[in-house]
Chains A and B, each alone.
Chain A
Amino acid sequence: MSVIIAKGISKTYDPDGMPVLALQRIDLEIREGEFTAIVGPSGSGKSTLLNIIGGLDKPSEGMVEVGGHMITELSDNELIDFRKEHIGFVFQAYNLIPVLTARENVEFVMLLQQRPKAEREARTKELLHAVGLDDKMDKRPGELSGGQQQRVAVARALAPKPAFILADEPTANLDTKSTENLLDIMAELNREEKITFIFSTHDQRVINRARRVITLVDGAVASDEKRD
């Protein structure tokens, strides 16, 4: 079953009256349970593509359907609600809420979803346990290492039970050990829970673990390799 269907996506930026084509007529289909890496050199359009399928940005042309919803037709406010319910984000710089503890960071999205307290607490414990941070639940981001922060970010991304997780360069700031640890966790969640992961990355260690690698060059799909 397809989680994401993108057809004819183009994106043109026009910051100084000089149009720049970031994406050119990209067709893409991501199926449930995929562990996909979008790779390519800097400026190839990886982040732009991720932002568009994540509902953070809109294409200049084309349509994106996520879990049966045509997100390219949603307003900004509808997109915020859509992201809250259907998409989990993991950012390169972790982007946790610095004034909240790990537990509160994970619980926060569920609070926005107005889930019952008991459910929030149970799922928060479960997710922090899954990422191996049972003993760090009450620590604030500033008290955690980069790897630990990124694991909290993964737990937070999983909290709303999203259709898929978009991870933009999730390992860029991590050392090898933390990277391997994070990839193990994500691979296990993908394998056991059938959670769909889509990465944009330069990191060969991530690319090696991906089961599908989409390479972008100059805003177009240069190759789409599926590994079994």
Chain B
Amino acid sequence: MIPLIAWRNIWRSRTRSLVVIGAIAIGVWAALFMTGFATGMARGYVRSAVDNIVSHLQMHHPQFKEDYDARFMVDTPGAVADRLREMPSIKAVSARAVVNGMASTPKGARGVQIKGINPDEEAGVTTLREKIVEGSYFLPDRRNEVLISVAMADKLHIKMRSKLVLTFQETSGELTTGAFRVAGIFDSGNKPFDETHIFVDHSDMAALLAPGSPTEDVIQEIAIMLHAPKTAATVSDTLQSLFPGLLSETYHQISPDLEMYESQINTVSYIYLGIIMLALVFGIVNTMLMAVLERYREIGMLMAIGMNKIKVFSMIVFEALMLGLIAAPLGMGLGWVSMLYLGRKGINLSAYSESLRLYGLEQIIYFELPPETYWQAGIFVMFTALLASLYPAWKAISLRPVEAIRKI
């Protein structure tokens, strides 16, 4: 009967209870909304970085990344790439030539990382082709074309069809230069990446990088996309044992910031929930305290006729828990509906595109919420309700029946 009394008690002051239920529900919704936003933003960032820049896995000569020295090439890259394509967990593979060099025009020069790509292979691994905003992706039978970003074009003061001279070290150590013409301008949405990377056709670059060597052997990097990103670490370990002469790394190892972003999703969720629930504690305490003080005489009577302190305490705790039990599903339902809508439509933050670009963040944030966040929110609410009920419940059992009954 204690739960029954508690249940009926919360409806004695319907308006007050509804206000508290509403506050808790909105608090839960707000926490889910903010977590959904933060998760969507973080995952968008990771997705964008994986799709545009790092891929799920990369393989290099073990010494290549020490100084990005083009001499350290992948041994028998054709055989390695063929073996990789046979693996069922691997979705796409792109073998690249990579070198650091200088891009020069009559009006300026910049240090860049030049990637020599096979256009068709690259399209399976990155979204470069879709990011072209002017001109076109590499066309067949065209020689010495280059793709640069909008940001790079601005910095070098060049436009479509402009000429660009690339200078870098051959694998023999000699300096070499090549003249390229801008065929396409892309915008990856990541300003730091765009300002430092340009793309040329692999065969053009290989001819400059290692003259005399078979073109297909001039490979410094193999980028790999997986069917399931979660298997990255496992597949990487497998590749490492299959190809002990190469270094296999996951996107977490290549860009530790991505791992930090992903791992922070849960932390952010807890922080939002924690802050909102902390605020709600005071609201619930206030309501429950009012409920106890209003029923001072009644509680005294209950103790007078034999209701012990544990039962009185439980009754007050039950009342708070029931408020939470009604409010939590409401807030979770609101959150779910919001996620459903904003997960599809997203929030367009293009008004802040410059700042977003600077951090490599997408302009449309599609809300995402890890499913476990829902039950975590539920547990937080119940814990908050329990916590908030302790003081009022303690107040209730601290009263002396003889004094409480005398009160008018």
Contacts A57-B402, A84-B306, A99-B12 given: A112-B5 contact, CB under 8 Å?
Answer: no
A81 and B305 contact, CB distance less than 8 A: no
Q: Mind listing 6 A-B residue pairs with CB under 8 Å?
A: A56-B401, A91-B301, A95-B301, A97-B302, A99-B11, A111-B1
Chain B residues with CB under 8 Å of A199's CB are none
Closest to B308 in A: A80
Contacts A57-B402, A112-B311 given: A97-B5 contact, CB under 8 Å?
Answer: yes
Chain A residues with CB under 8 Å of B402's CB are 51, 56-57
**A208 an interface residue at 8 Å Cβ cutoff?**
no
B305 and A83 contact, CB distance less than 8 A: yes
Partner of A108, one of B1, B8, B298, B309: B1
Interface residues of B (CB under 8 A from A): 1, 4-5, 8-9, 11-12, 297-298, 301-309, 311, 401-402, 405-406
A100 and B8 contact, CB distance less than 8 A: yes
Closest to B10 in A: A99
Closest to A57 in B: B402
A190-B401 Cα distance, complex, nearest whole Å: 27
Partner of B405, one of A56, A81, A83, A156: A56
**A160 an interface residue at 8 Å Cβ cutoff?**
yes
Chain A residues with CB under 8 Å of B308's CB are 77, 80-81, 84, 112
Chain A residues with CB under 8 Å of B4's CB are 100, 104
Partner of B305, one of A89, A93, A98, A99: A89
A77 and B309 contact, CB distance less than 8 A: yes
A108-B298 Cα distance, complex, nearest whole Å: 14
Chain A residues with CB under 8 Å of B405's CB are 56, 91, 95
Chain A residues with CB under 8 Å of B302's CB are 97
B5 and A100 contact, CB distance less than 8 A: yes
Closest to B406 in A: A47
**A109 an interface residue at 8 Å Cβ cutoff?**
yes
**A218 an interface residue at 8 Å Cβ cutoff?**
no
Chain B residues with CB under 8 Å of A100's CB are 1, 4-5, 8
**A85 an interface residue at 8 Å Cβ cutoff?**
yes
